[in-house]
Amino acid sequence: MKNLLWIQGLSCNGNTQSLLNAENPYFYELFQKVELLYHPSFSYRENLQTVLKRIDSDKLKVNFLVVEGAVTSDMKFHRTGNYTIAQILQKLKDKVDYIIAAGNCASFGNIPATLSCNPDVTGLQFRFTQKGGLFPSDFKTKSGYPIINIPGCPMHPAWFTQTIIALLEGRKIVLDSFNRPKELFMYLSHDGCIRNEYFEWKVEGEEFGHKEGCLFYNLGCRGPMTHAPCNKILWNGISSKTRAGMPCIGCTEFDFPLRRNYFETKKNIGIPEEVPLGVTKRAYLTITGVAKTFKNERLNKKLEETD
């Protein structure tokens, strides 16, 4: 059976908690398909130091190395013995088949890299837009893949389990330019949002949590600019931020959370500074200008009041 080693850098443990909610397969089912060598929250038989010693002496071969959290060589955050997370990863990088960055911190640096003035706090192969983090941009593991990024704050458990299962089954994974599996991240968070009709007819949402209205025009929704299948693979199988009336904040993207003012749409003379991906500002203005002139009666009522 192939095995998996999970280690943590600067992390809030959110991706681990998200993984506990996995369904199809459930968390425990996943670890019937792949042996869990060590996880800081779940392991009790062996500590990380013992596992690392076995790997170091070539007594143990690791298939999947999963990293949760941003990485640093700062000794304040040493993980085991006198090793920093960066040193541990440097030792392991040529010994494992795949390295998977679980969550936005390990993928792009996220909050730890934003809060730290030290450029040494980084994602594994990216630091925000910059290619090359702890590892250079051309680094590949034994399998020929670079670091496989499963971003999100946290990542959805199914994005992780589907990736592991695809690799266990020997399927090829195509990655985008930010090393995210395309099968998952070629979609936008906007795709499948139940507010799409409001978006098309430019009917604006007024407040968080309401069932009506699109959150793009005033409330800062980043769905049309964010690569994530949040409205295709639903959270807990039932919902998503935008379905619940909360704008998408773009947490799967490389520039999260560098942007400010999450809950407002920045505009210039009433025109959003950023328009949906793939659309020019001129096309956007023409389409929305026309849409706004047709007042769709049904969409301007409370949904409970419509027949």
Which residues of this chain interact with ligand SF4, rule CB under 6 A? 189-190, 193, 195-196, 199, 214-216, 221, 223-224, 242, 248
Give me the least distance between CB of 207 and ligand SF4, in Å please: 13
Give me the least distance between CB of 244 and ligand SF4, in Å please: 11
Specify the residue for token string 């968070």: 189
Q: What is the dihedral of CA 132, 135, 157, 210, to 10 degrees?
A: -20
- 142 vs 211, beta carbon nearer ligand SF4: 211
The Cβ of residue 43 has, within 10 Å, a number of other Cβ atoms equal to: 15
- 124 vs 221, beta carbon nearer ligand SF4: 221
b/e per residue, 108-131, with b = 16+ CB within 10 A?
A: bbbbbbeebeeebbbbbbbbbeee
Give me the least distance between CB of 228 and ligand SF4, in Å please: 10
- 157 vs 223, beta carbon nearer ligand SF4: 223
Give me the least distance between CB of 290 and ligand SF4, in Å please: 18
Distance CA 221, CA 106 (A): 24
Name the residue type at position 45. R
- Strand-pair partners of 268: 271
C-alpha distances in angstroms, 179 versus 88, 130, 134, 145, 149?
A: 22, 13, 15, 9, 5
- 31 vs 284, beta carbon nearer ligand SF4: 284
Name the residue type at position 117. C
- 102 vs 221, beta carbon nearer ligand SF4: 221
Distance CA 61, CA 55 (A): 6
- 98 vs 199, beta carbon nearer ligand SF4: 199
Give me the least distance between CB of 248 and ligand SF4, in Å please: 6
Which position's Cβ is nearest ligand SF4? 223
Give me the least distance between CB of 215 and ligand SF4, in Å please: 4
The strand pair at 267-268 and 271-272 is best described as antiparallel
- Strand-pair partners of 67: 7, 101
- 245 vs 257, beta carbon nearer ligand SF4: 245
- 142 vs 210, beta carbon nearer ligand SF4: 210
Name the residue type at position 74. D
Give me the least distance between CB of 190 and ligand SF4, in Å please: 4
Q: Is 99 helix (H, G, I), strand (E, B) or coil?
A: strand
Name the residue type at position 6. W
Contact 284, 202 (CB under 8 A): no
For 125, the token pair is 């192969």
Give me the least distance between CB of 302 and ligand SF4, in Å please: 17
Q: Is 65 helix (H, G, I), strand (E, B) or coil?
A: strand
